[in-house]
Structure 1
C-alpha cells in the first residue's frame, strides 16, 4: 500500500456472489476485490485476448490422454491472477482507491503491482505467465491448432517422440494428465510455481461439466446444470389450446431465457438438442405457443435424462479412426424469420457429427464410438436442391475432421507441419444417409442418397448444370477424399445418428442419436443385405419416427437372441463380444 498520487488511480469494488458447489443446489459465499478496468487509462492500448479451449478441443484432449494411458488430475489455481508475473505498464505504476470492506484508512491508495480481477489485461497476463512457465521451465509445447493444449514429449527407446504429459488450460482451471511414471514430477513442478486451491483426481466439475474418468472410458455430463437451471416455460391451460397464437410479453421473456440456456447444453454435452437450439435462435422473434410447447417437451426430456453422459472410449492410439456423419434436411419457416443479414431464413438445416472409433466398421459390425464434435446450423449458402444441401453438409463435416486430425496427430505423433499437414493424416470415413448400390474400390467407398451426388463422387468429375456452386463444393469434397485416402459408407435414414440434429423437435427424429448416446456403440449396415431387405420388405423403407425406433428395437432384440444362441450352442468369442456390448448398453442406460 502506498500513499500519494504519482500514477493513475482506478476505482474498485467488492463483488460478493454465491459460488456453486459440486452438490446440487449447494453454494458458498465468496467475496472478490475487483478493480474497475473501465477506469484504467491504459485500457485502449492493452493486449486483452486470452483464448479458452473449444468444446471439440476439450473432448479431443481427454480422448487423447485416455488413449495414451495418462492419469487425470483436475486443478484450480487459487487467486490466479495475483500469481501472475509483475505488471508492467508503459505509463508507470497504477493505483486503485479502496472500497468498503477492506478496512483501509481514508486517503489510502492501493498499488497494483500484479494483475487483479477487473483489469482488462489480467486474463492475458495470467495466460502469458502460465504459458511461459510451461514452455520455458517445464519443456511443454503448444498444440498446433488448439492454443490451450500443451504437450510434453520425451524420446522413447525406439527413437520416437513419446507424449508423457498434457495440460489443458481453461483460465485458472487445468486438466493435468501424465503417465504414471511422470505424474508426481509434473505435480511437483506446478506446485513449485503456483498455489492450487484443489487438486482432484479422476472425477471433478470442470468448466461446467462433470467429468468421470474410469479405466476404459470417460463420462461427460451436465446433469447439475440441467437440474438447477433448465426449467420449462409455464403456460396456462387455455393458452395451449391455440397453438398458433403469438406469445405474450411474459411468455416471450421466459422463452428467450430458456432458449439461451439450451444452446450451451447442445454445444457441450447434449448433441440431440443442437437442431432445436439452432432453429429456435432464428425463430424466437416469431415464436408461437406451439414453439413453447416443443421447447417444454425437450426441457422435460433433458430433466428426465439429466445424467446422460457422452462416453469417450479408450482406444489404441495408432488404430483409432474418425467417422463423420452428415445430413441435410428441410425445415418449415415462417414469415418474418430472418438471418443475421436481414434476409429470409433458408429452409435447409445442415448437421454433422465426428466420432472416434476403435477402427473403421465394416458391414453391420458394432464398434465403440466416442462423440468428439457435432454441429447443427443453417447452411451458409442457400441451395436449390437436396444435392446442394448434402454437398454443403458433407464439406463442413470433412473440414471438421481435418481440423481434429491435425490436432490429435500433433499431440500423439508430433510430426505435423503446416505446409504438408494433409500427408500426415490417417484415413477417415464419411457416413451419409442414402439408398443406392454400394460401389467399392480398394479402401474407398463413396455413397449418398442423392443419385447425382453419388455419381459425381464416383466419377471424380463433379458436374451439375442446375447448381454450379454445389458442383464446385463437391469438387472440393472429391479432392479432399482423394488426398486423405478416405472412403464413404452408406447408411439408411433410420441409422443416421445426426437425423435429429436437423429437426426443431429432436424427439421426432429417428432415435439413432439417442440410441448411440445410451450405448456408445456405432453400427452401420451391410449394404447388399440392406438393399435386399428394402426390396422385399417395405418396413425397411419407412422413414417415420415409429418405424425407425421399431427397427432399433428389433436390432437390440436380435443381439439378445444372438447372446442366448451362442450360450446354448457355444462360441466363446461371440459370447464375450455380444455380452460385453449388452453390459455397456445397460451401464449407460442406468447412469
Structure 2
C-alpha cells in the first residue's frame, strides 16, 4: 500500500467538507468551517487517506509532525478501518475549542491512571490525536438513549418473534417450528397430549406443568446460506423438581478450562496432528429419557403454538430438552460414557479433556465444550474410536484444520501444523460508550444507572476477549472492573480506550507452536506493581506458556501462551518485595497445575502420591524481575525478613521450586512479559505483542545482563566527564525478544 500524502489541516478539512456536501447537505450544517471540529484538528495534524465514493480503502492513518531537539519526524500509527476513524473523530480532544470552566476537582494520580494514554512510545503519547477524553463533537445535544443505543452489539443473531412477523418471514418461522418439533418427536423427547387426556392432566398434575417458548433466530453457518432456526425451550425456573435436582448436584456441568484447551491445541501442534472440529446436533436430546423420579412432567404450548396442533393441547416431556436445568449434566454424563466405551480416558485434572493411548503411548486427544469438540490423533485405534462416536451421535459437518470452537476461530498451518486462534469477528462487535463533550468533561462525576449498565456490558465483552485471546487487554479490563461499585466518567473513558486498543490490534492472535513433545516445558512469568491501583492496592499478574526446555540454556526458543491473568493482590503489602513474593506464590500454583496436566497427558496417569516424581521430569522455569526476591530464593539461609508473611511466601516458593525441580531466573523489567499484566506501559505492551507475533522468547544470562548494565553505567560516567562520544561499535546491546 502506497504511503498516504499528508496535507495541511485546512486543506484536508475543505476536501472532506466538499466530499460530504456532494452526498448530504446536512453535513455542511453540522460541520461549518468555523465550528469547533475545525479547531479540534489542531494546527499540526494532517489527515491522510481521505475516502472517496467507490474506493474500497478506508481512512488511512492520522499523522502528526513532531519536532524536538532532533530533526522533525513523522509518526505513523497503525492503519484503521472507517469505523475506527468515525469513532476516533467523535472522541477527539478538541484542544482548540473554548470550554466552560470546570468545577471538578483536580485529578489525582489514581484517576490519571484510570484513563491511560493510548499505547505508543512515550514520545508519541502526546502526538496521537486519539485521546482518552472521549467526546462527541457532532451530537452534543442528543439524548442519552440516542448516544448509548449502539454502545455494544452483543449478539450476532437477533431473536425473531414467534408470531406477528412480516408475510415473507412468518412462513419461515412456522417451518422452523415444525422442523424442531419433528426432531423432538423423533428423539422420543416429547409427545402431544390431546383432548380429555390433557384435561385430566391439568386436574391431576397441574403442579407439574411448566411453561415453554420457541427461540427463533437467523442461523448463519459456514459455507451455507442463512436460515431460520427455532428451538423449543422449557422455562427452567418453573421446574417442580428444581430443589431436588440442586440438592442432588444435577445442576452442575463442567466445561473445558482455558488451561485444558491450551493443552489440547499444544499437543496437536507438537505431535503435528490434524485439527478436527465438530459439533453434535441435538446434543441434549441424545441424553436419553428422564429419570423416573422426575416423571411425569408436562409443558404448555409455546406462545404462537405449534403449526397443526390445537391450542388446548399439552406436551409431555419424556427426555432432556433444552431449558431443563439438569439437561447439561445429563448430556455430560452421556458423552462421558460414550468416550469411555470408545477407549478414551478422562483427565483427573480437567473433566472435559480426554486422552487415548495405545500400549501406553498417547495417540489421541479429545476436548469437549458442551456439544462442540476439538480432537486429533493418529493410528488405527484413534480412527476406530472416532467412528464409534460418529455412530453413537449425529455430528454435523466435520471441519479439518479450520473452524470455530468456543467462540474463537482456529486455523492450522498445513506445513508446520501450528494452530492460530483469533477473535477478530468478536472484536468488531464491541462498541464504546458514547458521551457528549460536556459529559466527558465531568471526569469525577459518578455514572448514571444506564451508563453503569453500559459499562458492565463493555466490561463483560472485554473480559471474555482478554481472557481468551488478548492478554494485552488484561490490565485495562482489570482496572475497569475494580472501578465498581461506583464507577465515574473517568472509568468509562478508560473502558472506551480499551475498546479502541482492542480494535486497533484486532488481528493479534494466539499461536500454538510446533514444539517437540519430548522437550515441552512450562515457562512462568510473574510480576507485581506496588501500590499502583485504587486506594493503594497492588496490581499483580502472570503469564504461563509452553516452550522448549532449552530456554533455560539462554537460547531463543518457540513460545506458546497458555494462560494469563491480571488481578489485584488480595492481601495488602508493605513493600515491593512483599508484593512480588505474593504474586509469584500465586503464579507458581497455576504453573504447578499446568505442569501436572502436561505430565498426565504425556506420561499417563499415576498415583497422586507419586505424581510429582513423574511430573518433575518435565522442565519448568520461573521468571521474576525482582532482584531482591531472586536473591532471597537463591539463598540457602532462612528468611530473616521483619515482614513474616513475606517470609512465609518465600518459604512456600522454595518448596514449590524444590517440588517441581524448577529453575528460577531473573530478567530485567524490559524482558518481563508479565509487566504488561500489572501496568499500562507502552513498552511493556509492545514487548508482549512482539512475543505473541514472533512466537519466541529468550532469557539472557543474569551475570551477563548485570555486567552490561555496569559497563553502561561506567560509560555514562566517562561521557559526562569527558563529553566525548563513544563509537557505536563499542556499545553493548542486549539481544531482543
Counterparts of 1:116-515 in structure 2, within 5 Å, are: 116-135=321-340, 137-155=341-359, 161-179=360-378, 181-182=380-381, 184-214=383-413, 215-228=416-429, 230-241=430-441, 243-248=443-448, 250-334=450-534, 347-362=537-552, 364-425=554-615, 426-434=618-626, 449-450=627-628, 453-503=629-679, 505=680, 507=682, 509=684, 511-515=686-690
How many Å separate the matches in 2 of 1:35 and 1:247?
Answer: 37
> How many residues align structurally?
512
How many Å separate the matches in 1 of 2:536 and 2:585?
Answer: 18
How many Å separate the matches in 2 of 1:539 and 1:178?
Answer: 57
Quickly say closer, same or farther: Cα 1:297–1:508, change in 2 above 3 A: farther
Q: Is the 8 A contact 2:276 2:376 kept in 1?
A: yes
Q: Is the 8 A contact 2:234 2:299 kept in 1?
A: yes
SS at match of 1:71: coil
Cα shift readout 1:426-445 (whole Å, capped 9, x = no counterpart): 231101114xxxxxxxxxxx
Quickly say closer, same or farther: Cα 1:410–1:166, change in 2 above 3 A: same
Quickly say closer, same or farther: Cα 1:296–1:20, change in 2 above 3 A: farther
SS at match of 1:127: helix
How many Å separate the matches in 1 of 2:542 and 2:226?
Answer: 38
SS at match of 2:551: coil
SS at match of 1:254: helix
How many Å separate the matches in 1 of 2:733 and 2:272?
Answer: 32
How many Å separate the matches in 1 of 2:556 and 2:654?
Answer: 28
Shift of 1:259: 1.7
How many Å separate the matches in 2 of 1:250 and 1:11?
Answer: 31
Equivalent residue in structure 2 for 1:521, among 680, 685, 696: 696
Quickly say closer, same or farther: Cα 1:125–1:283, change in 2 above 3 A: same
How many Å separate the matches in 2 of 1:524 and 1:242?
Answer: 46
Greater share of strand: 1
Equivalent residue in structure 2 for 1:112, among 317, 332, 342: 317
Runs of 4+ in 1 over 6 A off after TM superposition: 554-559
Quickly say closer, same or farther: Cα 1:107–1:287, change in 2 above 3 A: closer
Q: Is the 8 A contact 1:495 1:510 kept in 2?
A: no
Which residue is 1:535 aligned to? 710
How many Å separate the matches in 1 of 2:378 and 2:442?
Answer: 61
Quickly say closer, same or farther: Cα 1:388–1:27, change in 2 above 3 A: farther
Shift of 1:399: 0.9
Shift of 1:302: 1.2
Q: Is the 8 A contact 1:87 1:115 kept in 2?
A: yes
Shift of 1:496: 0.6
In the superposition, the TM-score normalised over structure 2's length comes to: 0.65
Shift of 1:557: 11
How many Å separate the matches in 2 of 1:367 and 1:172?
Answer: 36
Quickly say closer, same or farther: Cα 1:224–1:28, change in 2 above 3 A: farther
How many Å separate the matches in 2 of 1:185 and 1:309?
Answer: 34
Shift of 1:97: 2.1
Shift of 1:81: 0.7
How many Å separate the matches in 1 of 2:215 and 2:659?
Answer: 55
How many Å separate the matches in 2 of 1:279 and 1:555?
Answer: 38
Q: Is the 8 A contact 2:477 2:498 kept in 1?
A: no
Q: Is the 8 A contact 2:523 2:544 kept in 1?
A: yes
Shift of 1:118: 0.5
How many Å separate the matches in 1 of 2:519 and 2:581?
Answer: 29
Mark the runs of 5 or more structure 1 residues left unpaired by the alignment. 156-160, 335-344, 435-448, 542-553, 560-580, 582-591
Quickly say closer, same or farther: Cα 1:509–1:252, change in 2 above 3 A: farther
Quickly say closer, same or farther: Cα 1:508–1:299, change in 2 above 3 A: farther
Q: Is the 8 A contact 2:530 2:575 kept in 1?
A: no
Shift of 1:204: 0.8
Q: Which has the larger radius of gyration?
A: 2
Shift of 1:421: 1.4
In the superposition, the TM-score normalised over structure 1's length comes to: 0.81
1:80 and 2:80 correspond: no
Quickly say closer, same or farther: Cα 1:533–1:212, change in 2 above 3 A: same
How many Å separate the matches in 1 of 2:525 and 2:231?
Answer: 46
More deviation, 171-180/93-102: 93-102
